[in-house]
Amino acid sequence: MNKGDVIELKIEDMTEDGKGIGKFNSLAIFVSNAVIGDFVKAEIIKLKKRYAIARLIEVLKPSSDRINPSCEYFGICGGCSLLNLRYEKQVELKRNTVKEKLARLAGITGPVVREVIAAEQPTGYRNKARYSIGSNGEVGFYKRKSSEVIDCKTCQLQNEASIKVANCIRGLIKEGIINYKKGEASSLRAFTVKACKGSGEVMLILEIIGKELDNAEEIVYAIEDSLIDSAGYKLKSVALALVSKNGKHSEIDKLKIVAGRDTITDEVTFKDEKSLKFEISPASFYQINTEQMVALYEKAEEYANLRGDEILLDIYCGTGTIGLSMADKAGFVLGIESVKDAILNANRNASINGIVNAIYYHGKAEDCLDKAIEKLEQILNKDVSNIPKVAIIDPPRAGADEKLLEILAKIKPDRIVYISCDAGTLARDIKYLELNGYDFIEATPVEMFPNTMSIESVSLLSLSQR
């Protein structure tokens, strides 16, 4: 086989970024815009020893699961990768991904992976969106594997408030009210919209070069007006995120509120009719799919199997949402998070919900879990070493720090509930825990990110009786 060859092949699987995978003479071929079940004609554009990259020329026989994508930007924008695949097949594919990685990377024979908790609303589900500004004033998302911004006037994944704000900002750029020129002082490089469906409260975070935003008052009023007809959404907070240089991955130097409140508040109702309020600050993490967040936490609570006397260790706790959702079932909740603003939100969230059996500790869990437990002993005025413990960990995509896993293995909570958005790092960490005193029981994928290849999963590990 040579670069430039045209081949025909059956697509048998898909990658995490939505490429089709087929085999040709035992060589793995990755084909963009092809879906599982397609029979395609493709041109080899890159050839390696173990695989090749191919450009789709023609779908000779479409998969029975292929559908027409409902977005004009599909295949250009780097967002949705599965919008051309029937949703039921997406769910099946993701479950198989979790099973395969647990078997291959964690070494678990026949891992028990329950049916995916599918989303009732596979579109319009995101409560948070970050839009970038292009060199010509485009407002949208990056082209796949590129720094080019696609001007997206709509998006299948975003909610109504997010799209209205983005279109308003696009208009303000065209009118010259917002400066977007790369590198210039007060220029807008990106912005984030957080919209709470339960309360209708919206936060706008404007990322700018410099220290101030020109025409700030006019911009805020225009965005407020754009939300008037948006199903009850109202702008409640505007923050500036100050960056010292422009670039796709430039870090934020400082955050400051320029209009409205420091936080917005979401209201979430669970199936047992328990209702909680969660405050969200500009820098704090909050699950992007509120409806599926409820399903995720209810499955985590089922796996935690709390009896009322345990200490619940809520690690990588963010704004405290997971632990607070089941605080009424636990003896005490001890949360740990490295983002200071999130810890402030977590303690505030406990207070506004009248939850008195939860405290939150700021720091990296791998560095301060022991100190946090000592702090809890001081609060309770007793030794907690013999009190039963359950740990819930919800790390970022990179997975848990090995030092943290080592500490957990020494503390020996009866159960560990591991929430993960990356099946590969999940499998790696489960393998470590299985080698250090725990048994993997089962996992349940939860569809947090429809029409993309991402999948959240909740796994249960139990202290080994061997």
Instruction: Name 123's Cβ contacts closer than 8 Å, sequence gap at least 6.
Output: 70, 156, 157, 450, 451
With CA atoms as reference, report the closest residue to 163 among 193, 205, 189, 136.
Answer: 193
- Confirm if 67 and 86 have CB atoms less than 8 A apart: yes
Residue 342 host element (H or E): helix 340-352
Strand, helix or coil for residue 432: helix
- 71 catalytic, yes or no? no
With CA atoms as reference, report the closest residue to 235 among 186, 164, 132.
Answer: 164
Q: Which position among 71, 77, 196, 421 bears the catalytic label?
A: 421
DSSP annotation string for 164-208:
HHHHHHHHHHHTTSS---TT-TT-EEEEEEEE-TTT-EEEEEEEE
Strand, helix or coil for residue 378: helix
Only one residue has tokens 């799919």, namely: 289
Distance, CA of 252 to CA of 259 (rounded, Å): 19
Q: Which residues of 266-279 are buried (b: 16+ CB within 10 A; e: fewer)?
A: bebeeeeeeebbbb
Strand, helix or coil for residue 455: coil
Structure tokens at 360: 């939150």
The CA–CA distances, whole Å, from 2 to 9, 55, 163, 248 equal 16, 14, 45, 35
Distance, CA of 342 to CA of 362 (rounded, Å): 9
Positive/negative CA dihedral, 448, 121, 75, 67: positive
Positive/negative CA dihedral, 416, 364, 287, 88: negative
Instruction: Name 160's Cβ contacts closer than 8 Å, sequence gap at least 6.
Output: 124, 230, 231, 233
Residues designated catalytic? 421
